[in-house]
Structure 1
Amino acid sequence: MRHLILAAMLAAIGSTGYATAATKPGKPAAAPKAPAVIDVKVRDFSGRFMDFYEAASRPMPVVPAAPAQPVPADGKQAAPATPPVPPVPVETEEERRWRFYKLGYDFAPLTGNDASRPLLNNAWPRYAAVVPQIKTGFDGVAAELSNLNENLGARIGVEKPLALRYITYVGLFDGKVWSELDGDRTNIYIPLEVSADTRALPLARILGRLMLDKTAVFGSQPRNLAELLIAEGVYAHILQEVAPGKPLESYLDLSAEQLAKAREARKADLKSIIDKLADGSMVPTYASEQIALTRYAGWQLVESFRKENVSYADLIRQKPTDLVKSCQVEMAKLILRAK
């Protein structure tokens, strides 16, 4: 296993051109503060995987045949001096591979024999084609991660420091990217066996959410419906910009059916939301259809602000009362344009 520790790897991801204390979307930007520092540590499991892979790829040992018993001159088989030793069961290639996996690697999002063993069997023939990229380990994804951090940070205007640990591993071709809090540092698990395009959106989701929660005036808890709409809309638009080429429902984290229903009810939904904005409704607990309504409405609202050159960084820094008023005005325009 190779273990690398890189401190303060990404020290300049901030952007210029956003307001830190604007009271109205579209107001000229104030001078930006110093960009945030991202303190990065790395743990790379590619070497450990390759040790397992190479051991499990070696030819199976050949079990020698039992020697033939000599036949006496008179043709009669002599009784053995000692009882015969029962044959030792021969391990199959799949059994040996699983044994090596459990002993030498055993690192996957899914745990337990029932979950991982059949997936490993299915993944095994596919590893040969991606061994070169696996061998590069973290070094092979460092530029990808640096660019993603820079692109996200520039759009959000990150000012507060972040502490991350990138853990690169070889999975089972399911493209699983996930995170967990480890003290004051967030661990992000990155699969090496899949393509950069497969990793792009899941990685952007995790890093984008971390940066938004650190930067927005409402943090991870929007205090009213306007802030919720802006949070959902900014998040989805940023994901589309840094990981392009996916259908809209992917950025909104909805099913295609949910998005289709939200589009059909667009005008009625916008009217119901603008009424809630006006009466100062707080953020309710949303059922699945209300989640779809809110995310799609937030997407449209932020899209409308962006057409007027309002930055994401400015939108997430508004005072609650100012944001409610601005959202009412912009949503009225959307209702007039809606069919």
Structure 2
Amino acid sequence: MVSIRDVAAHAGVSDKTVSRVANGEPNVSPATKVRVEESIAALGYVPNMGARLVRTNRSGVIGLMTDVVSTTPNSVEIIRGVQDSVSTARQSLLIANTSGAPEIEQRVWRTFREHRIDGVLYATMYHRRIRFAARPDIPTVLVNCSTAEEPDLPSVIPDDYEGGQIAANRALDRGHRKIGFVTLNPQIIAAQLRGKAFVDTMTRRRCQIRSDWIRPGYAGEVGEEILCAFDVARDMLQPTDRPTVLLTGNDEIAMQCLFAAQSLNLRVPDDVEVIGFDDFHMISAQVIPPLTTVALPYYQIGMRAADRLLSILAGDISDMSVERLPCPLVERASG
């Protein structure tokens, strides 16, 4: 087995210098760092993590606990953002999926403690408020969620209210005044925030709000929903007095609205426009016409949350707030 002394001899430096490079510590010149890294690669040296743990009480591992994020295609960008941040900091990432089961979550917390995980990123598939059975005793940053019970627990979430304003203003700026809205499940906080933004924007710009043109695209309880957006959109678009644009809760709903318009021989965007939310590329960039949509910044959320956790681990606890990231408009052909 290659030892730290072997690397030091190969690179012509001290054991301590090799240790500094391996642990990502400062006070090593760029040229020396490159030489040591080349020796590590050439010899296949693997640092002794057990020794590091004894010496520093730090494992060099970040835990990512998810409900179903790690198995959900539209949220994989969260993990990519986390991974890019953690890798830059020369940390490793351990991902645990709980499937939303409290007993599995408690087991994961215990495993993280046993393995001396340095810090935890707690991520959810959709923006929601969570409740812990007990406050985490490991430095933790919430990802795509927040908690009212622990106001000093930092979190990074999308600015759903601003995103809702952007979608409504897009429709109004394009001259629409007959605006329909096929929403997410009303029980979801994102639906509530975007719905409030829609009403506030329409009111501020003195545009009539038709309550019969605001309908959910899902039926049922959260987690057990049935997609009904096709029937809802078709029902809205059939009458002569119909919306000229449909805002939607996500790109899945928007796709169903496109299908509904097509079934009625309505052309998008000529006869009716459709604006999505998410920018889930498997839908938004592939449907015809491609969707104009408001993007959820999943990658940026993951990266920013990991950056904040790494700052906390470095001793910076000056900012423990909820951080909202902007949701940009992605212009394509549907509206």
Band of TM-score, shorter chain? under 0.3
Q: Which structure has the bigger radius of gyration? A: 1
TM superposition score normalised by structure 1: 0.24
| Relative contact order, higher structure (CA 8 A, sep 6+) | 1
Which structure's residues are more often helix, by fraction?
Answer: 1
- As a proportion of its length, which structure holds more strand? 2
